[in-house]
Amino acid sequence: MTAPFVSSSTRFEVTAPPPSDGSTRARTGLLGLPHGTVETPQFMPVGTNATVKALSPDDLKDAGATIVLSNTYHLYLRPGHERIARLGGLHRFMDWDRPILTDSGGFQVVSLGDLRVVDEDGVTFRSHLDGSVHRFTPEHATAVQEALGSDVAVAFDQPVYPSSPRDVVADATSRTHRWAERSLAAHSRTDQAMFGIIQGGLDPELRAESARFIAGLSFDGICIGGLAGDETPSQRDATLDVAVAALGDDPRPRYLMGLGSPADLLEAVHRGIDLFDSVLPARVARNGQLWVPGGRVNLRNRAFLDDPDPVQEGCPCLLCRRFSRAYLAHLFRANELLAYRLATCHNLTFTLDFMARIRASIRAGTFPADMTDLRARAGRMSGGEGAEQSA
Ligand SMILES: [Zn+2]
């Protein structure tokens, strides 16, 4: 069994390693960070603007959240990282006392910024809010995250769509490597972890090379980027297999960025991933899509207006404990704000409970045999839904 990984900010211990028969790479672990310990595999709800849309910190805790992600790009533009630092840091600002991971802003700069001129030193982009021109470099993205004071900062990278031509992927990947070294060199907070990002698109050689390069640097954890985009599930599976195999017995946590449907989470855990984030459960909730065992129900459907049952029998969330499908269907049709809160509470509770079931199965040593039941519970919530990224 691999010894725990320990640094000034991070302790990661694999508590149930994958079986030696090769039937799965799934594992459980404990990730210790400055604001608390996170059981893995784990899902991180996304609080883009220092809030998971429609939820209070108490709602998040009730849903079972132990760590959240917040977006560096958004907080840098509004209200500003220096303002948040003056107000005591991101934890105090959003009144969340558990771990926070901030992304590097690379994905948002490339996907949301209008101008986005990439050069060797950094990226110049136009704010999606007011068109003002800004510039991110590895050093600046690191400084912004240090000001926010997240538990985990992420190195600045240049993501590209999985389907991009090989020369575009190769160019972005080698630049990501140079930026990884610069991000690490710029990082000075010893009470904050820094994770590095593997790129390499869908090309097995580039992916393996990137995994080895990033793993060769003194990061506290390894992110797998450039997926959860326009690739097919089988392309994603194959790419994960290459990356995780290249990491070998590396003792650090592995985080697949941007994946969020229960079916997709399950397959990625099976391939050895420990951490996930996505806006998906909350976004589809706000559209009236409620996740239940085996599939989903659309509460905008008028058939539910007379349904007195809870959305999911036995679910401990605020919605299912106290309200009927009929009530939620009414709230959506009347555009009442409470609909967003209740639906989001439910989808996050479902997702985090699903991760807890996966962990229990891995700990019991029955995960490969339980995959059939877990797949049935996840339903067919993959494909287009799963292809959305945090934004
Ligand atoms: Zn519920």
Q: What are the tens digits of pLDDT across the range 351-386?
A: 999 999 999 999 999 999 999 999 999 997 544 443
Confidence bin at 1 (pLDDT 50/70/90): low
| Alpha helices by DSSP H, the chain | 57-63, 72-77, 81-86, 90-94, 106-111, 138-148, 166-186, 204-215, 233-247, 262-270, 280-286, 318-322, 325-333, 338-363, 367-378
The pLDDT of residue 310 is 98
Residue 168 has pLDDT above 90, yes or no: yes
- Alpha-carbon 215 to chain mean position: 20
For residue 42, give the amino acid letter. Q
Annotated catalytic sites, by residue? 103, 277
The pLDDT of residue 2 is 75
Pick the residue with more confidence: 204 or 116? 204
The pLDDT of residue 270 is 98
The pLDDT of residue 109 is 86
Output the CA 329–ligand 1 centroid distance in Å: 14
How far is Cα 203 from Cα 210, in angstroms, rounded to an integer?
10
CB neighbours of 180 closer than 8 A, spacing ≥ 6? 138, 155, 157, 196, 197, 213, 214, 217, 219
Q: What are the tens digits of pLDDT across the range 284-313?
A: 999 999 999 999 999 999 999 999 999 999
Residue 161 has pLDDT above 70, yes or no: yes
Residue 387 has pLDDT above 50, yes or no: no
The pLDDT of residue 6 is 98
Q: Mean pLDDT, the chain, as a whole number?
A: 95
Q: What are the tens digits of pLDDT across the range 176-200?
A: 999 999 999 999 999 999 999 999 9
Output the CA 167–ligand 1 centroid distance in Å: 47
Output the CA 314–ligand 1 centroid distance in Å: 8
The pLDDT of residue 115 is 82
| Residue 270 and residue 25 in contact, taking contact as beta carbons nearer than 8 Å | yes
**Once rounded to an integer, what is the mean pLDDT over residues 107-129?**
88
Q: What are the tens digits of pLDDT across the range 15-69?
A: 999 999 999 999 999 999 999 999 999 999 999 999 999 999 999 999 999 999 9
Output the CA 372–ligand 1 centroid distance in Å: 23
Output the CA 197–ligand 1 centroid distance in Å: 34
Residue 207 has pLDDT above 80, yes or no: yes
